């Protein structure tokens, strides 16, 4: 049996290398095409292979060099030279060129080049001159042989970091530009500092090839090739029988070719095994490598990496900071280092501005989840079992219904919906024989929307799964090629140059691929090449007619929206409006749901763009048009787009104080909300109510506000997800506080009671309920108010208002010493914060002074100097109450002091005497 050389492809014979190279054929072809187009009188187009460990960078690079040697025309013009995988000896530019000479000897079997390198090293000690001489020898070889050099340098990012002095890196760039005799092909685990940012020496210098995980068919091709090489014909039966097991492992390993070969070995050894046992065995085999890689990190970086790896979803920096118990600045610095070293990467979920972070190699996550996380172990096992069933022999339509029932009944958690349903939706959508398809899809989307509402990080995971399945199984249209999907990911990461390259290559291969042209427009727009972007979008819109299929019209619709946005950016608002006016030609109210959803959602986002630029009239007009495409009987996910649109429209009108318009627009929105809708839609409706309620308050329509307050409580249920209930509870408590200000204490209490039922740990609900009892002057319920206020303080130990409310309740009970203590605590908590309610604080200090505690009030105010400045008249009035002689003060302050002291006298007659009431 021939040996499988997993970790060092350089040890393979040319025949073995060629036989084992099954995947990445398109990339190899493109690299050879670029090589063939290199001009002898111009600098070379250098190349960089980027992919995580095991993705086949070395194999591809060596296969490329082999193809050059085997192609007569190329072999006559080029001399391939491969560096070893590790070039630890390269610390300056002289080392780089001398190392090239040593490898040239190995490539040509001519020792004179190595001899010259050694002679130069012995004779010349100045590094700069030595580098120049060594480079000159390489150029001499090229001119003497008539061949240009191809230098394949592994781990180019490490080589650059070893050069140390940035001037060396700049000098290398200058040499490569000056000498077209040398073509550099590098590899790296991630896009690194020297090429990532504008201003860096190698920014936009390389043609970057990003090596993604392999697809299912490529996996099977490699398995078959390995089986044929080893003469194991029985493996063919295993591949057919264990399709689900193989596809599960492909997904969990990220399509990593190196892990694929190891998986093949497990399949051969255990043809009747299980996917989860395969995974555990693979993790066991990789554990020494995982540990060694992690141990290479400094202690703090290791801690941050551990927190990332234990997470199922990408994490915000503040979440990592909390988990690692490190400061925000320290955590951010460690995350940057992890990204630069290829351990982590930035993730930008769709429509989320904040950056999240995740482990660059998903298999690290799996390692940590299996080894260190009990919850992660359970969740991973469920996913493995599901995927194994999904891609195995289980009838698909039974899987549709069983999975949906499992999620709907609560047997599986909402947060698992994107993984489970995300895999099934493309199958169900294209299963024309599935009679319950429409209802199933609507229910599935509702569950996913609900889960996204409780776990926003799932949006990215859901999108990735759907795109991945669509790509691998050619679902929907063929427009979802690997390069197009890669283009989407690059656009989301704002890597516009690379996205443009991927899209143009797709268009070259598939000139009719409108989706690729659509994405090209965004890539060009991101690069500020606005005229070219407009051409790309117009190409799409001109190719689509109103009679075309809905999916084609979606592309055209998106292109129109994007075109309008660019025209607006170019301050051509007239043409932008004309473009938006074309949308009704493509979308009708009786069109399929996805098309109307696209129109509504994209117009909503365009309106956001206009609003952010302070062009509010254009925003309002755009949102008005978006609202035309949704009906009250539409599926929930379509109505949710409308609710978001109305909420944004209402907020802009409120900001412009156009309250009558707010009322006219939003009073009818409730017809789009149903009691059985998901928590996400109902929560969106509650946000829209805020704009409506603001208008009611500003217009003095308090009765309408109270009615709306009651309606708000109808949008939330105890069966809703915990996270959603918590958000509703906070909103309800805030609204109840407004009811207190309106004197509607019963309404306030009922709202707070509902909020506390939804979330017993909503401190604001307990505090506002205590305030409602206080304000209603219900002396018989003071003990009840005290319990609520103390509960609020327990739940919100950093909230000054909570302790202030406790103080007021205790004061009303006559427990003045305890009231003083709690008020001092409130002020101490408030240090560094903007104070919560100056009016209420003033009243509390007046009451305490009137009750005879002026000396203690003065001490409190002295210990919090901001009070003596912001409440100067009160400060002087309290001083006067203690018997202090006041200095000469301005007339207005003197008069204020007199008035305040009158209030002290009036309050004394009304306040309760001190009682020994405990707290």
Mean pLDDT in residue range 282-296: 79
pLDDT above 90 (res 185): yes
What is the total residue count of the chain?
919
Same domain as 193, residue 44? yes
Min mean pLDDT across 61-65, 530-534, 912-916 is at: 912-916
pLDDT of residue 453: 36
Which range has the top average pLDDT, 22-26, 570-574, 811-815? 811-815
| Cα 546 from Cα 250, distance rounded (Å) | 41
Same domain as 82, residue 15? yes
Residues spanned by the domain of 429: 395-476
Same domain as 449, residue 337? no
| Cα 67 from Cα 61, distance rounded (Å) | 10
Mean pLDDT in residue range 614-633: 87
Our count of domains for the chain comes to 4
Per-residue DSSP letters for 800-826? HHHHHHHHHHHHHTT-HHHHHHHHHHH
| Cα 521 from Cα 525, distance rounded (Å) | 6
Identify which of 650, 648, 556, 634 has the alpha carbon closest to the alpha carbon of residue 606: 648
pLDDT of residue 446: 54
Same domain as 360, residue 255? no
The answer to whether residue 546 is domain-embedded is: no
Residue 437 — very low, low, confident or very high, per pLDDT cuts 50/70/90? low
Q: Find the farthest-apart pair of alpha carbons in the chain and give their distance in angstroms, rounded.
A: 110
Measure the CA dihedral 276/279/280/285, to 10°.
160
Min mean pLDDT across 462-466, 479-483, 795-799, 889-893 is at: 462-466
The answer to whether residue 532 is domain-embedded is: no
Min mean pLDDT across 195-209, 456-470, 785-799 is at: 456-470
Same domain as 235, residue 355? no
Residue 679: CB atoms within 10 A of its CB come to 24
Instruction: Kindly give the residue spans of alpha helices, DSSP state H, lying in 14-92.
Output: 14-20, 25-36, 57-70, 72-77
pLDDT above 50 (res 213): yes
pLDDT of residue 339: 85
Min mean pLDDT across 146-150, 282-286, 555-559, 717-721 is at: 282-286
Residue 394 — very low, low, confident or very high, per pLDDT cuts 50/70/90? very low
DSSP state of 47: E
Question: Which of 455, 476, 497 is where one domain is finished?
Answer: 476
Same domain as 317, residue 191? no
Same domain as 65, residue 183? yes
The answer to whether residue 133 is domain-embedded is: yes
Min mean pLDDT across 14-28, 134-148, 632-646, 656-670 is at: 14-28
Same domain as 37, residue 113? yes
Identify which of 806, 777, 795, 800 has the alpha carbon closest to the alpha carbon of residue 919: 806
Mean pLDDT in residue range 731-759: 88
pLDDT above 90 (res 823): yes
Q: What is the DSSP pairing of strand 344-347 with strand 356-359?
A: antiparallel
pLDDT digits (tens, 9 = 90+) for 896-919: 888 889 889 988 887 765 443 333
The answer to whether residue 777 is domain-embedded is: no
Residue 688 — very low, low, confident or very high, per pLDDT cuts 50/70/90? confident
The answer to whether residue 99 is domain-embedded is: yes
Alpha carbons within 13 A on the beta-carbon side of 650: 27
Same domain as 471, residue 423? yes
Residue entry with tokens 């190349």:
47
Mean pLDDT in residue range 211-239: 77
Residue 760 — very low, low, confident or very high, per pLDDT cuts 50/70/90? very high
Higher pLDDT, 796 or 714: 796
CATH assignment of the domain containing 316: 1.10.10.10
The burial of 853, by beta-carbon neighbours within 10 Å (0-12 exposed, 13-18 middle, 19 or more buried), is given as buried
pLDDT above 80 (res 735): yes
Question: Which of 210, 239, 260 is where one domain is finished?
Answer: 210
Mean pLDDT in residue range 557-568: 83
pLDDT of residue 1: 39
The percent of residues above 90 in pLDDT, for the chain, comes to: 21
pLDDT above 80 (res 567): yes
CATH assignment of the domain containing 176: 3.40.50.300
pLDDT above 80 (res 478): no
Mean pLDDT in residue range 363-376: 74
Mean pLDDT in residue range 189-195: 75
Instruction: Kindly give the residue spans of alpha helices, DSSP state H, lying in 78-215.
Output: 93-108, 112-123, 127-145, 156-163, 166-178, 193-196
Residue 848 — very low, low, confident or very high, per pLDDT cuts 50/70/90? very high
Identify which of 737, 723, 725, 650 has the alpha carbon closest to the alpha carbon of residue 689: 650
Which range has the top average pLDDT, 203-212, 534-543, 835-844? 534-543
Min mean pLDDT across 291-300, 326-335, 399-408, 495-504 is at: 399-408
The answer to whether residue 92 is domain-embedded is: yes
Q: Are 405 and 421 in contact (CB under 8 A)?
A: no
pLDDT of residue 445: 52
The answer to whether residue 59 is domain-embedded is: yes
| Cα 690 from Cα 679, distance rounded (Å) | 17
pLDDT of residue 685: 82
Residue 392 — very low, low, confident or very high, per pLDDT cuts 50/70/90? low
| Cα 260 from Cα 266, distance rounded (Å) | 10
Residue 463 — very low, low, confident or very high, per pLDDT cuts 50/70/90? very low
Min mean pLDDT across 73-77, 204-208, 389-393, 722-726 is at: 389-393
The answer to whether residue 456 is domain-embedded is: yes
Same domain as 162, residue 42? yes
Which neighbouring-strand residues pair with 183?
Answer: 150
pLDDT of residue 141: 92
Question: Which of 476, 500, 521 is where one domain is finished?
Answer: 476
Which range has the top average pLDDT, 348-352, 371-375, 633-637? 633-637
Identify which of 733, 812, 741 has the alpha carbon closest to the alpha carbon of residue 767: 733
Q: Are 595 and 550 in contact (CB under 8 A)?
A: yes
pLDDT above 50 (res 519): yes
Residue 553: CB atoms within 10 A of its CB come to 24
pLDDT above 70 (res 104): yes
Residue 734: CB atoms within 10 A of its CB come to 15
Residue 764 — very low, low, confident or very high, per pLDDT cuts 50/70/90? very high
164 Ramachandran zone, left/alpha/beta (phi>0; psi -120 to 50): left
Same domain as 438, residue 325? no
Same domain as 236, residue 195? no
Mean per-residue pLDDT over the chain, rounded:
80
Residues 126, 128, 133: CA angle, nearest 5 degrees:
90
pLDDT of residue 492: 67
Which neighbouring-strand residues pair with 78?
Answer: 148
Alpha carbons within 13 A on the beta-carbon side of 25: 10
Instruction: Kindly give the residue spans of alpha helices, DSSP state H, lying in 742-837.
Output: 745-758, 763-775, 782-795, 800-812, 816-829
| Cα 602 from Cα 303, distance rounded (Å) | 41
pLDDT of residue 466: 35
Min mean pLDDT across 395-409, 571-585, 662-676 is at: 395-409
Mean pLDDT in residue range 654-672: 85
pLDDT of residue 452: 38
pLDDT of residue 218: 80
Residue 467 — very low, low, confident or very high, per pLDDT cuts 50/70/90? very low
pLDDT above 80 (res 268): no
Q: Are 748 and 768 in contact (CB under 8 A)?
A: yes
């Amino acid at each position: 049996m021939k040996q499988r050389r997993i970790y060092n492809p350089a040890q393979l014979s040319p025949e073995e290398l060629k036989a084992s190279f099954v995947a990445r054929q398109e990339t190899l072809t493109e690299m050879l095409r670029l090589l063939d187009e290199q001009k002898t009188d111009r600098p070379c187009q250098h190349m960089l292979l980027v992919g995580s460990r095991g993705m086949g960078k070395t194999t591809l690079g060596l296969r490329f060099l082999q193809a050059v040697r085997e192609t007569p025309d190329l072999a006559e013009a080029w001399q391939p030279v491969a560096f070893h995988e590790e070039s630890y000896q390269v610390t300056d530019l002289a080392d780089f060129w001398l190392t090239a000479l040593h490898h040239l000897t190995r490539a040509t079997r001519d020792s004179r080049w190595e001899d010259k390198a050694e002679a130069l090293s012995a004779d010349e000690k100045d590094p700069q001159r030595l580098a120049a001489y060594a480079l000159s020898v390489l150029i001499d070889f090229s001119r003497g042989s008539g061949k240009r050099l191809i230098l394949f340098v592994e781990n180019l990012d490490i080589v650059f970091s070893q050069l140390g002095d940035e001037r060396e890196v700049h000098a290398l760039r200058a040499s490569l530009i000056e000498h077209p005799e040398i073509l550099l092909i590098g590899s790296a685990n991630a896009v690194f500092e020297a090429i990532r940012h504008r201003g860096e020496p190698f920014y936009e210098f390389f043609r970057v090839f990003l090596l993604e995980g392999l697809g299912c068919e490529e996996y099977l091709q490699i398995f078959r090739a390995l089986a044929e090489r080893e003469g194991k014909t029985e493996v063919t039966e295993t591949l057919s029988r264990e399709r689900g097991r193989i596809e599960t492992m492909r997904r969990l390993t990220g399509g990593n070719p190196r892990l694929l070969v190891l998986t093949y070995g497990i399949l051969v050894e255990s043809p009747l095994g299980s996917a989860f046992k395969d995974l555990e065995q693979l993790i066991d085999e990789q554990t020494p490598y995982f540990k060694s890689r992690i141990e290479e990190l400094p202690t703090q970086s290791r801690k941050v990496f551990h927190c990332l790896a234990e997470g199922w979803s990408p994490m915000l920096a503040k979440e990592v900071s909390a988990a690692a118990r490190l400061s925000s600045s320290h955590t951010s610095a460690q995350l940057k280092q992890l990204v630069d070293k290829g351990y982590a990467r930035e993730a930008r979920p769709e429509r989320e501005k904040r950056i999240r972070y995740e482990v660059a190699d998903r298999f690290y996550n799996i390692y940590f989840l299996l080894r260190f996380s009990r919850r992660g172990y359970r969740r991973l096992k469920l996913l493995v079992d599901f995927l194994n069933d999904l891609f195995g022999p289980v009838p698909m339509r039974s899987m549709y219904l069983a999975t949906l029932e499992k999620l709907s009944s609560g047997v599986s958690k909402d947060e698992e919906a994107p993984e489970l349903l995300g895999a099934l939706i493309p199958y169900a959508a294209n299963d024309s024989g599935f009679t319950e398809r429409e209802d199933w899809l609507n229910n599935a989307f509702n569950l996913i929307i609900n889960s996204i509402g409780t776990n926003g990080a799932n949006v990215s995971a859901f999108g990735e799964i759907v795109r991945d399945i669509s790509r691998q199984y050619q679902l929907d249209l063929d427009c979802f090629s690997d390069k197009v999907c890669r283009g989407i990911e690059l656009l989301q990461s704002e890597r516009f140059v690379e996205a443009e390259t991927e899209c143009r290559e797709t268009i070259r291969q598939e000139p009719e691929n409108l989706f690729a042209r659509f994405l090209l427009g965004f890539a060009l727009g991101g690069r500020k090449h606005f005229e070219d972007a407009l051409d790309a979008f117009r190409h799409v819109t001109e190719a689509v007619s109103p009679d075309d299929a809905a999916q084609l019209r979606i592309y055209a619709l998106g292109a129109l929206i994007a075109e309008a946005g660019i025209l607006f950016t170019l301050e051509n608002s007239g043409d932008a409006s004309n473009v938006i006016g074309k949308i009704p030609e493509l979308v009708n109210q009786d069109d399929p749901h996805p098309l109307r959803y696209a129109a509504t959602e994209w117009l909503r986002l365009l309106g956001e763009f206009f609003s952010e630029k302070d062009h509010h009239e254009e925003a309002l007009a755009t949102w008005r048009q978006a609202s035309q495409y949704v009906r009250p009987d539409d599926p929930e996910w379509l109505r949710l787009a409308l609710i978001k649109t109305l909420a944004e429209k209402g907020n802009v009108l409120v900001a412009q104080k156009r309250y009558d318009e707010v009322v006219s627009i939003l009073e009818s929105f409730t017809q789009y909300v149903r009691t059985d809708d998901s928590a996400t839609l109902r929560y969106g409706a509650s946000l829209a109510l805020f704009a409506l309620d603001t208008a009611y308050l500003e217009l003095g329509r308090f009765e309408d506000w109270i009615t709306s307050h009651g309606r708000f409580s109808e949008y939330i249920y105890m069966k809703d997800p915990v996270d959603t209930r918590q958000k509703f509870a906070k909103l309800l408590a805030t609204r109840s506080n407004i009811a207190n200000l309106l004197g509607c204490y019963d309404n306030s209490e009922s709202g707070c009671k509902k909020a506390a039922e939804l979330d017993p740990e909503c401190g604001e609900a307990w505090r506002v309920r205590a305030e409602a009892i206080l304000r209603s002057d219900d002396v018989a319920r003071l003990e009840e108010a005290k319990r609520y206020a103390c509960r609020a303080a327990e739940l919100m130990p950093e909230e000054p208002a909570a302790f202030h409310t406790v103080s007021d309740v205790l004061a009303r009970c006559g427990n003045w010493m305890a009231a003083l203590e709690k008020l001092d605590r409130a002020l101490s908590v408030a240090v560094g914060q903007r104070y919560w309610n100056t009016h209420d604080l003033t009243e509390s200090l007046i009451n305490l002074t009137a009750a005879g505690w002026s000396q203690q009030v003065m001490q409190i105010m002295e210990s919090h100097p901001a009070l003596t400045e912001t409440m100067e008249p009160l400060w002087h009035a309290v001083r006067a109450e203690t018997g202090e002689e006041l200095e000469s003060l301005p007339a207005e302050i003197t008069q204020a002091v007199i008035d305040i002291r009158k209030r002290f006298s009036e309050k004394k007659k009304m306040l309760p005497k001190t009682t020994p009431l405990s707290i």
